[in-house]
Structure 1
Amino acid sequence: DSFFCIHIDSHQRLTFYRTGRKSSFKQSVIEWLEESIQLSELLQESTLEVWVGLIQQHYTFVPVPLYQEEHRDLYAQRAFYLPLRDATWTDSITTRDYIKVLYEADRELYKVLYQYLPEVSCTHYLTPLLRRFYEQFGDHNKTLCLANVRGGYLTLAVFADGKLIFVNLFEWQKDEDIYYYLALMVNQLELDPGKLIMYLSGEWVPDSDRHKWVRRKFKQWKWTHVQNHLFSASVKKHNLQAFQLYDLVCPFL
């Protein structure tokens, strides 16, 4: 399991970005946080706000007009095609089609998190990412795609005229996997690569082979931007660019 952690100070500046890998997320998350970022010291900050985003492939979306809380587990069972092993959790994303995000998460994991971080906000990784992207670009009357890379996952989300028409969380191991999933998305949705506006965020490296491929395929591509100049300026001191932390900073700025 992989970990990605950022800390933003009270002046909205990045103070650190940490990554790590452990064999068991549930048993080691608090241990890793303590080793890497001195969690106990950070918890003494009176204004500390903690978010945990879980990258979980067992998720689904339900339009709010059709959503009934008493059927929450049933929605999940039908979407995942397997008996629920853990609890079903829900988030909300406000778009023109207000939707609920349902996902499966380990009860024991959340119990550990709430034990050590009583004020923690837990969410599916996709929720703040899609919410923030929509807030920035959802009123466009064009077709937009967000391509975010984080760890071994590629998030692809397509908005057309402000409506979410496609989203998926793909596992990848080599660049060719990313090329395949992007081409698959274009073919499935019958999109015109020349007209699609492609926003890149997360672990993209400017002028890398992966980036050059996207530039050839999608003429209208852009880096996502964090709408906070203090934060964007501070990340440069860490040899980063703001778009590379876009998905991680979405809950905060």
Structure 2
Amino acid sequence: MVTTNKEKDLYKKLSIQVSLNGLSFCILNRKDNKICYFKKVDFEKQLDPIKVLSKIELLYEQEEQLNQPVDEVALLFNNALFSLVPENLFDEDNAASYLKFNTRILKTDFIAFDKIGQDTVNVYIPYANITNYFFDRYGEFEYRHSLSVLIESFLSLPKETDTPKVYLHVHKNYYELVIIENGKLVFANSFEYDTKEDFLYYLLFTAEQSKLDPEKFELILLGKINKNSEEYKMAWEYIKNISFMGPFHPFTFEETAKPKEELSEYLLIKSL
């Protein structure tokens, strides 16, 4: 879906990431390929979708730049309410059935899905109150699950070797883990963790179940992690080949719109 606004040819795209732990916004001026606005809000604790919407409404009252006209909007939902399904087994009429074993589904929940590549469907629950809010504000727009964007971005990377690549995208207290081998998606899931030991356990357990040798596979880190992170230091003791995601976008930034660490906003920027 593409945004339809009364004003055309503004050359501006707004990217929004919504989770129960925080919000991120950025605006790209496509005329000069420059990100001209960036705003990130972390919540002190996890909220419910009703309180998240209240935070969004407050931001639009406070942030003048958020009220500037744009001609395209991309909204990402970052939550654990998803299930990946092989496309040849996917039945749109029974989409809710793929979620019932790992997600509590209410009768009022709306079920959405994203097609990923040629053979995978991500079935998920968006927050309907939040999609309705943005529809009222912008009209028709595109929304997707953040994991869909993440997987597609990794699948689109050049295949340099046959070595399995494990991508670990870190947020506060949880991460997504995606395994790509020979240009194909092998595994994707998210894990909550409280300690650096938990962080390492889920990574090594997934590698073991996927028959990956810590001496051989490549671990690529991105998101809310750096070389000073305790999680990085612990992983370094057990995994031989660790690196951080390299340059991933062609944009420049207005001085006031530059995030402290670009990799921590990988999904937001990738959706532009």
Category of TM-score, reference length = shorter chain:
0.7 to 0.9
TM-score (normalised: structure 2): 0.78
Q: Which has the higher contact order (CA 8 A, sep 6+)?
A: 2
- Structure 1 residue 245 corresponds to structure 2 residue 265: yes
Residues 88-144 of structure 1: CA deviation (Å, up to 9, x unaligned): 1101111xx521100123433432332234244222121111111111156752200
Counting only pairs closer than 5 Å after superposition, residues 1-253 of structure 1 correspond to structure 2 as: 1-10=20-29, 11-13=33-35, 15-21=37-43, 24-36=47-59, 38=62, 41-47=65-71, 49-77=72-100, 79-80=101-102, 84-85=106-107, 86-94=109-117, 98-137=119-158, 140-231=161-252, 238=258, 240-252=260-272
Counterpart residue type for residue 25 of structure 2: I
Aligned to 1:154, the other structure's residue is in SS state: strand
Q: Structure 1: which 5+ residue stretches go unaligned?
A: none
Amino acid at match of 1:131: E
Deviation at 1:57, TM superposition (A): 1.7
Q: Cα deviations across residues 200-225 of structure 1 (Å, max 9, x unaligned)?
A: 01000223322222223222222113
Aligned counterparts of 2:263 and 2:206: Cα–Cα separation in 1: 22
CA RMSD of aligned residues (A): 2.9
More helix by proportion, 1 or 2?
1
How many Å separate the matches in 2 of 1:35 and 1:190?
Answer: 48
Residue 249 of structure 2 contacts residue 269 of structure 2 at CA under 8 Å; is this kept in 1?
A: no
Q: Which secondary structure state, in structure 1, belongs to the residue aligned with residue 251 of structure 2?
A: helix
Q: In percent, how many aligned pairs have the same letter? A: 21
The residue identity in structure 1 corresponding to 2:41 is: T
Alpha-carbon deviations, 1:172-225, whole Å to 9, x = none?
222222111112112211211121111101000223322222223222222113
**Aligned positions, number:** 247
Indicate how the Cα distance of structure 1 residues 244 and 160 shifts in structure 2: closer, same or farther if over 3 A, else same. Answer: same
CA distance in 1, matches of 2:255, 2:264: 9
SS at match of 1:50: strand
